[in-house]
A and B are shown apart, each in its own frame.
Chain A
Amino acid sequence: MTLLRTITATLMLGCLIALGAGNALALDAASPQQAPDELRALAADSYAAKARAIKDLVASQAPRTRVWLQALLDGKLQRLEDDGRFVIVTDNRGRDWTVIDAVDDAPLGEVSRRRIDRITINNALRNQLRSAMAILDLDADDPAERLASADRLIGEVDADLAEPLAARLDAESDGDVRAKLAQALALYRLQSGDAAQIDAAIDTLSGSLNPTVRAALAQVARGDGEAAEAARQALAGIEQALRLNHAAETLYFGLSLGSVLVLAAIGLAITFGVMGVINMAHGELIMLGAYTTWMLQQLLPGQPGLALILAIPAGFLVSALVGVIIERSVIRFLKGRPLETLLATFGVSLILQQLVRTVISPLNRTVVTPEWMSGSLVVNEALSLTLNRLYVLGFALVVFAALMLVMRRTRLGLEVRAVTQNRTMARAMGIHATRVDILTFALGSGVAGLAGVALSQLTNVGPNLGQNYIIDSFMVVVFGGVGNLWGTLVAGMSLGVINQVIEPWAGAVLAKVIVLVFIILFIQKRPRGLFPQKGRAAEG
């Protein structure tokens, strides 16, 4: 070992000579400061000595303790071979590493990595470091930070930590942090062997959703006696709470999937349901909305959030425009021939797909999720809701509400309904039926574009994006009852939830098959969907 070191050192020396003194000059810029003893102790040879050093460091309450511990944990606290100065590596790419002084953060420029001695740690030390830092973090001012560090302590408390933690618990003012700390302590006391303490611990731990807590309780529950019985009861309660949380999660995923379905289908509910036009290219209009998002992100590099927000009107306009072109060039010649419309628009969908493949790429494009949309909303330890899905869910509801407003409260909505019910009569009353057709189709297509913008945050953007949603969208519209926007909402949401409920035991593909078969059977039973239109209007 020593031999090896000598060889390495000799080699390094050689290198140093070869490299010249250029690098060394930078080091002379600041005069070496005497490193504190605590810091030097960390560079001890044995892990046991390092462990003691960490403990001493924490006890010393030196001002930079937190920084050193973190650097040590990350493997960035290192020592220069030349002068024994402690440094923190800030950039370890390449041959020369950028370092700063560990004591006063003074920048020391670049140093050849061969001249830096790493202070190595092992897993036991890593754990020790984490809990040590957790204790330190408990002194943070921000309650959220304190809560996070308390959370890290769960399962990490040992005999040494227990005492200061108990004292810290009494001093804590925030309720959530207190509860967490109490759990961390209780988990330790669970193993203490003292019956009274175990009882109290189980009492504290019951209701916790932390998996470590559950494992510990399960271990106690396997034994005999009162404590085991109490643990079993606590576990049963936890299982119950977990089931509830799991159900809530399934519901959330279901509603999320449902919101996607609603977004994809709601435009169709307008063109198909209100105008009676079967637009098989609807999926491609969704795809265009997604590609608009991607395009805007390419145009505004580094500002994915802004691009995404701009994509909402842009996606709407692009898809609406393409929709109008389809209406004017194809659909208007096929009025009253729904099956032919279906075939023609299918042709259009093929052309649009191939166009994207040729002009952009046949490969999927990644749309960046802006920072404020990534991450998740943590409800409790067993349930966290991903933010992007939450945003899409909200977006779907907003789009739906806006559409309802347009159809119910605006002149356009009134004219659309008039033209739908009696075209000739509406024209006789001075409504420009052709203009209404164009506007309605533009609206439906534009909403497809909005769906595309939202979908770009959840899935890959590719030429087949639309194809994947077209059948589902039609199913949603038909299931909900053609011509009924509320029906589309209810149908989309319930199909989403049904799918998520089946998925765990059937698998994703089979779940989809089951849902499709279910809808096919449902339509046989109620051909007009969940919320049928009745009477004369339905006969047409």
Chain B
Amino acid sequence: MNWFLKPATERSTQCFVGVLIVALAVVCVLNLALPAANPLHVSTYTVALLGKYLCYALLAVAVDLVWGYLGILSLGHGAFFALGGYAMGMYLMRQIGDRGVYGDPVLPDFMVFLNWDHLPWYWQGFDMAGFAFLMVLLAPGLLALVFGFLAFRSRVTGVYLSIITQALTFALMLAFFRNEMGFGGNNGLTDFKELLGFPISADGTRLGLFLASGVALGLGYWLCRAIVASKLGRVCVASRDAEARVRFIGYRVERVQLFVFVVSAMLAGVAGALYVPQVGIINPSQFSPLFSIEIVVWVALGGRATLYGAVIGAILVNYAKTVFTGVMPDAWLFALGGLFVVCTVLLPRGLAGLMQWRRNASRHDERTTEATA
């Protein structure tokens, strides 16, 4: 059987895809078919919010792939997410054309403001959707390739790798804050007008982006499942637990790590690219180490090495964040900090582990009753 089709036979994947499709369909129906006055109506605002959660969920799946299965705790996945977002943002900036405040047909507003007279070379081509979308994959992929090649070749793993991934995203944040970098500095890229010809804030576009995020999450999840279920996935788990042993039976662990790391970075890039048009802005704070480490806690809460746990964790934590920051913003950091501690000390395998444990416990009960009977 083709390795990519294997997840189709797994019950967990069938369940996941099923639930995802139903959820997307329900949101669509509740948004389109019901009048705004109906209490069950899902507003376009909510659709965009849910779309954002789906992007975060895809990002969490990407992190779980490397952390859960490969044992590499990346504290810099926000950087890949942000790079994908910037690639998309650059495309959206070019789409503004002469509708900006300064009305320059080519240069984005912030460049006019900085008195730049021409587009930097790395902005070339971003007016073409195809090229921009390719860069959504290539920019994070390339960074992951170079960084991963250097790191894994010299066997930088464990906490060292975590720390330098954090340093990486921190360095990128500082760099992107500089106006001279040509990515809008502090303010980042914003004031987008349209995407592929559709007005960006129109209800239909919002719903379309939400659906696209859902589809991307489904495909990303599927891809990760396929990798995990393959022999390569087993090599990943093996090198997570006993890296040296895997080398001694002839696998090039660093290449396995690099491959999976790059795939994961690209998924994060896609998540970022879908995120940007839905929230309408991308700025350097997306590179902040705090954001990257937050992703990890989504995965930790959901349960690492399950993939679906990452999705649950991402949606739960971000929903809680939305609620908290609305009701009592000061308490959010307390809650988030507490979540970090609770997840690691009390729930080392997350919610998914909790569910599995209960299932196993009941199975164990059955077995003991059988034995006594």
Contact = CB atoms under 8 A, between A and B. Distances in A.
A–B proximity contact (CB within 8 A): yes
Contact of A516 (B151, B167, B336): B167
B337 A343 contact: no
Interface in B103-147: 147
A330 B73 contact: no
Contacts of A520: 147, 150, 164, 167-168, 171
Interface stretch (B1-9, B25-33, B53-61, B339-347): B339-347
B340 A523 contact: no
A527 B156 contact: yes
Interface of A: 278, 330, 333-334, 337-344, 346-351, 353-355, 357-358, 471, 474-475, 478, 507, 509-510, 512-513, 516-517, 519-521, 523-527
Given A333-B345, A343-B293, A346-B340, A525 B167 contact: no
B160 A342 contact: no
B333 A351 contact: yes
A347 B178 contact: no
A222 to B, nearest CB: 35
Contact of A510 (B166, B167, B175, B336): B175
28 contacts: A337-B344, A338-B159, A343-B296, A343-B344, A346-B293, A346-B337, A347-B337, A347-B340, A351-B333, A351-B338, A351-B341, A353-B333, A354-B330, A471-B289, A474-B163, A474-B166, A475-B163, A478-B164, A512-B174, A513-B171, A513-B174, A516-B168, A519-B167, A520-B147, A523-B154, A523-B164, A524-B151, A524-B153
B187 interface: no
Nearest to B342: A347
A471 B166 contact: yes
B156 A523 contact: yes
Contacts of B293: 343, 346
Interface in B301-351: 330, 333-334, 336-341, 343-345, 348
Contacts of B73: 339, 342
A339 B156 contact: no
B293 to A, nearest CB: 6
Among B156, B296, B340, the one with the most A-chain Cβ atoms within 10 Å of its Cβ is B340
Kindly state the interface size class of chain B when it binds its partner: 35 or more
Nearest to B147: A520
B162 interface: yes
Contact of B337 (A350, A358, A478, A512): A350
A375 B330 CA distance: 40
B337 A351 contact: yes
Among B151, B159, B166, the one with the most A-chain Cβ atoms within 10 Å of its Cβ is B159
Given A330-B341, A524-B150, A524-B153, A475 B297 contact: no
A330 B338 contact: no
Contact of B344 (A344, A354, A355, A474): A344
Contacts of A351: 333-334, 337-338, 341
B167 A509 contact: no
Among A338, A342, A517, the one with the most B-chain Cβ atoms within 10 Å of its Cβ is A342
B29 to A, nearest CB: 39
A347 B177 CA distance: 26
B231 interface: no
Given A353-B333, A523-B164, A347 B175 contact: no
Contacts of A330: 341, 345
Contacts of B333: 350-351, 353-354, 357
Given A343-B297, A354-B334, A478 B154 contact: no
Contact of B341 (A337, A348, A358, A510): A348
Contacts of B177: 509
B69 interface: no
B341 A344 contact: yes
A288 to B, nearest CB: 15
Nearest to A349: B337
Nearest to B340: A347
Contacts of B340: 343-344, 346-348, 350
**Cβ-closest 7 pairs across A and B:** A347-B340, A350-B337, A351-B337, A354-B333, A516-B171, A524-B150, A344-B344
